[in-house]
Structure 1
Amino acid sequence: MQSKYEIIRDIILRNVPDAGNYPCSIKGVRLVRRDKSTDFAKCFYNPTCILVLQGKKHILYGNNHLVYSKGQCVISCMDIPVSSRVVEASPYEPFVVLILELDFNLISQLIMESKLSHAVDDNEKCLAVMDTDEALLDAFYRLACLIEKPYDEFLSSIIIKEIYYRLITGPLGSQLQLISMKGTYANQIVQAIGYLKENFKEKLNIEDVAKQVNMAPSTFYRNFRRVTQVSPLQYQKQLRLYEAQRLMLSGAYNAESAAYVVGYASVIQFSREYKKMFGNPPKTDIKILITGCQ
């Protein structure tokens, strides 16, 4: 008899015949398949819960090394810059995950309705790995079974709400509570990230961002680096470079025009920082990403 992990994996593989990152019929759910191991690449982990069905992946989050594989979940509580690589994957046994986006408005509502204790721990990580227990796996199993059925928003929303509840009452629940609580340093950093994402083209002023979240500049800088593992300036730089990469991949922009659109005054500086982050000059990197050839 197949395990629930294997059933969910097979549902994903039937709907994702090739390697890639795909949406599905359920709002907020993405399906990912990788057919080979990869080198480390920089990326952002958005607020998500990632259920691993097969394979293994390695994340570098500041000085933290996280490895996750079948039977585990990854919780990312905010937009976190990391480096990651697929460790175990092949065409015969691909790396397969189901990704559920986290809605913190709904999570906050659940915390209030369930009257959970609000234990705040400054040492909590905003990116962490946990083992998946049977109750959480069962909820994901029921959600995955809806992928191949006619879209039912009502039923999927109920199951997603159950998953959120099991997450906030599980081993990593304190992280989710910390992010959702107004007035905590983590919630303030989430607000600051939102501000940076909206204004990443503008010259960074630490005092202005700190003021937006009601923090002293020195306190804001210290807490931002503790949560994201990078400085606000480094974070903004990565936002700019990822947006430039997206623009160039669209085919509507070259390196020069993309650089100016995302806020760089110098194309030379843009190319230098792009190569430092992605490992290749912009033109070469985009060619590799489009053709898939190294």
Structure 2
Amino acid sequence: MPVAFAERSKNIDQLIQKVSHLAEIEGDHQSVISGLSFHNRMSPTDSTHCIYSMGLSLVLQGQKEVIIGDNVYQCHEGHSMLTMMDLPVTSRIINASSQKPFLAVLLLLDIQVVNELVANLPVEAKTIISNDSHESFSVELVDISLINAVLRLVKMLDEPKMIPHLADLVKKEIIIRLLNSSQGIYLRQLVKSGSVNQKIHQIVNWLKNNFAQPIRMDDLAERAFMSPSTFRQHFREVTGMSPLQYQKQLRLQEARHLMLNHNFDAGRAAISVGYESASQFSREYVRLFGESPQRDIQRMKQNT
């Protein structure tokens, strides 16, 4: 076995041991290090609809499927998943058991820190950034240097007194190693002033804060300083879906949250997220979640 491969396997095994201890119970576990969490599933799951925030996830055991628009990604053991902006996704655990649970580490990334670190890159590293659009979700085989950096961050939980002094430094190291990896082009493109990805990121942020408002494609295109046809093309290339599909997913996921966690009825939830027609809301809800709002919420409450 090559030395590099053996070291990579050894460090993944160390991460598995640490995460197995830190996330013994099935579920999602936030750590005391801001943005760092651990995820454990002991059996395959049904499809789940959620929003992936900007972050790096390492799959340590098991297999996960992620669907974004029409794109399907298979995330196996030893893969890293990099999300460059908030994306509505459908995901499910494919491979997991009580003997060998699905285990993953997630580190949310701060775009301001990314911006700061990219600004300090050598000039030659910045010149390779193109004006093309890039997908905002990437799956790659994680390299050994990134595994080592994540392992150092996780091990810091054994030295809580050091966390305020060193955690942010190790997070920066992780971002720097990402920037110098095969996935670095995506992060550099995101923060390049005037790039397609930066413009689409700004529109995504606007939609997140204004999804209940009616939107006109021409207005969004104008905000992005693009023609409507160019804007639609780039938005789909970057996010995997059209602007209207993106808005619809934000609306429906927020409506589901309001009904599940705040006891809104379907009519009130529909109005709160911007629907004028209750029948349209119900049709689109069934299309996304597979059941009527009432049945879906009843089922979810019974399972909690």
Normalised by the length of structure 1, the TM-score is 0.93
Q: C-alpha offsets along residues 156-179 of structure 1, whole Å, 9 cap, x if unaligned?
A: 100000000000110111111111
Name which of structure 1's ranges 60-69 and 20-29 shifts more when overlaid on structure 2: 60-69
**Native 8 Å contact 2:61 2:101 kept in 1:** yes
User: What amino acid is the match of 1:117?
Assistant: K
Q: Which residue number in structure 2 is paired with residue 15 of structure 1?
A: 22
Select the residue among 262, 273, 278 that pairs with 2:273: 262
The separation in 2 between residues aligned to 1:179 and 1:112, in whole angstroms, is 12
1:68-83 equivalence runs, <5 A: 68-83=75-90
Alpha-carbon distance, 1:23 to partner = 1.7
Are 1:126 and 2:136 matched, yes or no? yes
Are 1:93 and 2:103 matched, yes or no? no
The separation in 2 between residues aligned to 1:61 and 1:253, in whole angstroms, is 28
User: What amino acid is the match of 2:126?
Assistant: S
User: What amino acid is the match of 1:163?
Assistant: I
Q: Which residue number in structure 2 is paired with residue 49 of structure 1?
A: 56
Q: Which residue number in structure 1 is paired with residue 126 of structure 2?
A: 117
User: What amino acid is the match of 1:242?
Assistant: Q
Give RMSD over aligned pairs: 1.9
Alpha-carbon distance, 1:121 to partner = 6.0
Q: Alpha carbons of 1:169 and 1:121: their partners in 2 closer, same or farther (altered >3 Å)? A: farther
**What SS is found at the alignment partner of 1:250?**
helix
The separation in 2 between residues aligned to 1:154 and 1:210, in whole angstroms, is 44
The separation in 1 between residues aligned to 2:70 and 2:266, in whole angstroms, is 31
**Native 8 Å contact 2:78 2:142 kept in 1:** yes
Q: C-alpha offsets along residues 143-198 of structure 1, whole Å, 9 cap, x if unaligned?
A: 01123432612211000000000001101111111111110111100000000011
Alpha-carbon distance, 1:123 to partner = 5.9
Q: Which residue number in structure 1 is paired with residue 166 of structure 2?
A: 155
Name which of structure 1's ranges 68-77 and 187-196 shifts more when overlaid on structure 2: 68-77
Name which of structure 1's ranges 41-50 and 93-102 shifts more when overlaid on structure 2: 41-50
Q: C-alpha offsets along residues 107-142 of structure 1, whole Å, 9 cap, x if unaligned?
A: 111111122224226263321111111111110001
The separation in 1 between residues aligned to 2:198 and 2:214, in whole angstroms, is 24
Q: Alpha carbons of 1:208 and 1:181: their partners in 2 closer, same or farther (altered >3 Å)? A: same
Name stretches of at least 5 consecutive residues in structure 2 with no aligned partner.
1-6
How many residues matched? 293
Q: C-alpha offsets along residues 234-281 of structure 1, whole Å, 9 cap, x if unaligned?
A: 110100001111111213312121111111112222111111101111
Q: Alpha carbons of 1:287 and 1:92: their partners in 2 closer, same or farther (altered >3 Å)? A: farther
Q: C-alpha offsets along residues 57-98 of structure 1, whole Å, 9 cap, x if unaligned?
A: 112233433211221101111122332221101122111111
Alpha-carbon distance, 1:13 to partner = 2.7
**What SS is found at the alignment partner of 2:276?**
coil
The separation in 2 between residues aligned to 1:58 and 1:102, in whole angstroms, is 22
Name stretches of at least 5 consecutive residues in structure 1 with no aligned partner.
none
Are 1:221 and 2:232 matched, yes or no? yes
**What SS is found at the alignment partner of 1:30?**
strand
Q: Which residue number in structure 2 is paired with residue 174 of structure 1?
A: 185
Select the structure that is richer in helix.
2
The separation in 1 between residues aligned to 2:184 and 2:67, in whole angstroms, is 22
**What SS is found at the alignment partner of 2:207?**
helix
Alpha-carbon distance, 1:7 to partner = 2.5
Q: Alpha carbons of 1:109 and 1:202: their partners in 2 closer, same or farther (altered >3 Å)? A: same
The separation in 2 between residues aligned to 1:208 and 1:63, in whole angstroms, is 25
The separation in 1 between residues aligned to 2:214 and 2:62, in whole angstroms, is 41
**Native 8 Å contact 1:195 1:209 kept in 2:** no
The separation in 2 between residues aligned to 1:36 and 1:29, in whole angstroms, is 23
